[in-house]
Amino acid sequence: MREFFSARHVAVFGVSTRPGNLGARIVQNLLKFGYPGRVSPIGRGGGELAGLPIVPTLRDAGDGVDLAVILTPAATVPGIFAECAAGGVKRLIVESGGFAELGERGAALQAELKELARRHGLRFIGPNGIGLVDNHSGLAVPFTAMPRPPQGPVSVLAQSGGVGLLYASQFLAEGIGLAKFVSLGNKIDVDETDLLPFLAADDSTGIVMAYLESIADGRALCAAIRACPKPVLVHKANIGEASRAIAGSHTAALANDDAVVDAALAQAGARRTSNLGDTVAKVKAFLLPPMKGDRTVVVSRSGGHAIIAADECGKAGLVFPELPAEFLELVRRAVRADVIRLGNPLDVGDLYEMDAFVTIMEGVMALPEIDGVIFLFMMLSNYNPRVPERLVDRARELCRQHDKPLALVLYTYPEELARLKAYSDFPIFTSAEEAVAALAAGRDWRRAQQRKPRAMPRPRPNAAAAALLAAAPPGGWLPAEQAFALLDTCGIAHPPVAFAATAAAAVAAYRRLGGRVALKLESPDVVHKSEVGGVRLDLGSAREVRAAFAQLRENLAARQPGARFTGALLMPMAPPGLELIGGVKFDPSFGPVLLLGWGGVAAEAMEKVSLRLAPITRSEALEMIAELPGQKLLAGFRGRPGIRRGALADLLVRLGRLAWTPGLGEADLNPIVAGPDGVLALDARFRKRAT
């Protein structure tokens, strides 16, 4: 990827002297940004642009062209690819539209580009994008006129060029500098998984922000994020719920496409954003050092704003330690008047002396027992401009000196706020809510970095499971006996089970099992057995078993006509416990996804579930358990025992390994009964992928 940004001679295809020519804008941007290399405009009409001759072919551009930027009609682009291959140009940026986004003919052209690149060893960005910007070298090839932003630490990867430019302009309005910008376009060759490792090693990049509408290889993206030591923010748009309507299992319904993206990005260590404002706020957060803990101090001139900040801190899990007497005495001396609240939050009231503010700021940042500070400053009177500038400058110095964040909130007029943001690239927040969210975002990212493994666990091959699944028809559900046999291959505990195709076989199985039993419908056409009257519990005689078997058949015929009845599954009644669901869904982008939620008939009613890409570590399994709602129930509540979390974690690890069985499409273990003595899977359903 480095070659895209280190080009010494850029050829721009599609340039003319006609007014409004977009190729000419590319050349003009290169000159305006101060690109130090050679620029060769190429176009059939000839002429001159900004003192540069417009030549008809790549050969006429001379030697050493190492980057081609193409903005010509789509039908001409394959020929230019061939011309570049013949001329030894290996890096191309295609800004032309008219490819797969416009239908079958464009898709065919797109496929032709991909094949030409493969054949000749070319790498290209696009098509249907607006190019890239290296704000440090001056390499800027968008076809839109744009001002050169200040240099800074943020690099932007954007599938939509328009959205990417909107982000860049919003960063500019906040005083946030740009390092690099890449418009990915249709992502036929180079995509975010190629560029993220490059940006991770790029000295000018401190924060990566990605706007994505599709993710072709989620596993590769997550691997790149895991390996990146810098904050990665992802705004994933295009989050439709179409897949939920065709879900074949509880797990598939609960693990919808966007929920998988959310979980996968979090597991990898990225911070997901939801809109422009959220993204800008999080970028500002990462311009500050991340908090090392939860201990926070709020300093305010307004009691109301201090109360709001305290409320937001409570929601974010930020705590207010008691402030040492030495610091409080420093505040008394600095203020030289009564402080409204001498504690934490610290309300200094109508204080107007700037030296006192700076003294308090310096003192609180020096406290070793504090991890972060929120400084709320109302500035609605006519202050000398140097007053807020001094606050901003000192806040920056203190953050660097103590390696901890100071979130500076300035309540002032819009024009003054804009002036201060232009004055400094130190982040200025406009509300207590935004400042608290920033501190919490930095803290959460730091914790995620500390606990995440740099690489995902490697899946272990399970030959026995692969053989069982290979025998199943594509797209079909495994029979119950084979489903429980799959559990046996990975050591997931379950009660003894027996399958019966007839009432007589059910009675014989009951006598073998002994004691009271449960009887469950078996049908390849039924997902929710309870909805068709397919479960009978606590049967204690042959007569009850025979009658229940007949009832299952009748219920299915009445409630789901046409569904096939293949028999029933018998197992001993399980000990009491909490019902959970564990499942697997194969996502076409992210691969096997593991799910944990509340189970039984509540599986889809309790929509809050925990998801991870499989396989997982034991610590990740414990995190999944901790994310479930109803933690009091899991710990033991009102005389009812809790669960053995370690046993449930072990089951999830084993299920995560089983998820990598070739061809596995979906799995439901519902319910899993969890109690103080361990866990048991009481039902298991596995479906083979159709392809």
User: Please, which residues bridge with residue 596 across strands?
Assistant: 582, 610
Q: What is the pLDDT of residue 691?
A: 74
Q: Delineate the domains of the chain, giving CATH numbers in brackets.
A: 2-238 (3.40.50.720), 296-427 (3.40.50.261), 463-572 (3.30.1490.20), 578-688 (3.30.470.20)
Instruction: Please give the C-alpha separations between residue 207 and each of 215, 265, 280, 401, 442, in angstroms, as whole numbers.
Output: 20, 16, 12, 21, 12
Task: Indicate the residue type of 64.
Answer: G
Cβ atoms of residues 427 and 280 within 8 Å: no
Cβ atoms of residues 600 and 525 within 8 Å: no
Q: Is 295 helix (H, G, I), strand (E, B) or coil?
A: strand
Which residues fall within 8 angstroms of residue 349, CB to CB, at 6 or more apart?
A: 301, 303, 337, 338, 339, 340
* pLDDT tens profile 490-504: 999 999 999 999 999
C-alpha to C-alpha distance for 501 and 518, rounded to whole angstroms: 15
Q: What is the pLDDT of residue 337?
A: 62
The answer to whether residue 120 scores a pLDDT higher than 90 is yes
Please give the residue that has the higher pLDDT: either 475 or 559.
559
Q: What is the pLDDT of residue 151?
A: 95
Q: What is the pLDDT of residue 512?
A: 95
Q: What is the pLDDT of residue 601?
A: 63
C-alpha to C-alpha distance for 357 and 377, rounded to whole angstroms: 9
Cβ atoms of residues 673 and 679 within 8 Å: yes
User: What is the band of 439 on the pLDDT scale with cuts at 50, 70, 90?
Assistant: very high
Under DSSP, the state recorded for 532 is G
Q: What is the pLDDT of residue 637?
A: 84
Cβ atoms of residues 660 and 459 within 8 Å: yes
Q: Which two tokens stand for residue 187?
A: 């992502």
The answer to whether residue 379 scores a pLDDT higher than 70 is yes
The answer to whether residue 599 scores a pLDDT higher than 80 is yes
Q: What is the pLDDT of residue 103?
A: 87
DSSP annotation string for 147-158: PPPPEEEEEEEE
The answer to whether residue 650 scores a pLDDT higher than 80 is yes
Positions of E strands within 529-677: 535-539, 567-572, 578-587, 591-598, 610-613, 636-637, 640-641, 664-675
CA angle (94, 98, 99) in 5-degree steps? 75
Instruction: State how beta strands 271-273 and 296-300 pair.
Output: unpaired
Tokens 């083979």 belong to residue: 688
Q: What is the pLDDT of residue 94?
A: 98
Average pLDDT, the chain: 91
Tokens 């990975």 belong to residue: 490
DSSP annotation string for 450-491: HHS-SSPPPPPP-HHHHHHHHTSPTTPBPPHHHHHHHHHHHT
Q: What is the pLDDT of residue 240?
A: 64
User: What is the band of 340 on the pLDDT scale with cuts at 50, 70, 90?
Assistant: low
Average pLDDT over residues 473-482: 85
C-alpha to C-alpha distance for 235 and 146, rounded to whole angstroms: 23
Q: Indicate the burial class of 633 (C-beta count within 10 angstroms; 0-12, 13-18, 19 or more).
A: middle
Which residues fall within 8 angstroms of residue 426, CB to CB, at 6 or more apart?
A: 175, 287, 392, 393, 395, 396, 408
Q: What is the pLDDT of residue 260?
A: 92
* pLDDT tens profile 60-113: 999 999 999 999 999 999 999 999 999 999 999 999 999 988 889 999 999 999
Q: What is the pLDDT of residue 256?
A: 56
Q: What is the pLDDT of residue 245?
A: 44
The answer to whether residue 246 scores a pLDDT higher than 50 is no
The answer to whether residue 250 scores a pLDDT higher than 60 is no
Q: What is the pLDDT of residue 352?
A: 66
C-alpha to C-alpha distance for 614 and 593, rounded to whole angstroms: 5
Average pLDDT over residues 645-661: 96
Which residues fall within 8 angstroms of residue 671, CB to CB, at 6 or more apart?
A: 579, 580, 581, 599, 600, 682, 683
* pLDDT tens profile 447-465: 988 887 767 778 888 999 9
Phi, psi torsion values for 47, nearest 5 degrees: 100, -160
Q: Which two tokens stand for residue 454?
A: 């740099």
Cβ atoms of residues 159 and 166 within 8 Å: no
DSSP annotation string for 402-450: HTS-EEEEEE--HHHHHHHHHH--S-EESSHHHHHHHHHHHHHHHHHHH
The answer to whether residue 252 scores a pLDDT higher than 80 is no
Q: What is the pLDDT of residue 459?
A: 81
Which of 67, 71, 73, 46 lies closest to 57 in space, CA to CA? 46
* pLDDT tens profile 265-294: 999 999 999 999 999 999 999 999 999 999
Phi, psi torsion values for 365, nearest 5 degrees: -70, -25
Q: What is the pLDDT of residue 536?
A: 96
Q: Which two tokens stand for residue 524?
A: 């390849």
Tokens 């944990």 belong to residue: 596
Which of 670, 523, 525 lies closest to 604 in space, CA to CA? 670
Under DSSP, the state recorded for 371 is S
Average pLDDT over residues 15-36: 96
Cβ atoms of residues 615 and 649 within 8 Å: no
Which of 480, 564, 560, 561 lies closest to 520 in space, CA to CA? 480
Q: What is the pLDDT of residue 472?
A: 82
Percent above pLDDT 90 for the chain: 77
* pLDDT tens profile 140-162: 999 998 889 999 999 999 999 99
Q: What is the pLDDT of residue 247?
A: 42
Indicate the range of 38-42, 582-586, 630-634 predicted with least confidence. Answer: 630-634
The answer to whether residue 572 scores a pLDDT higher than 80 is yes
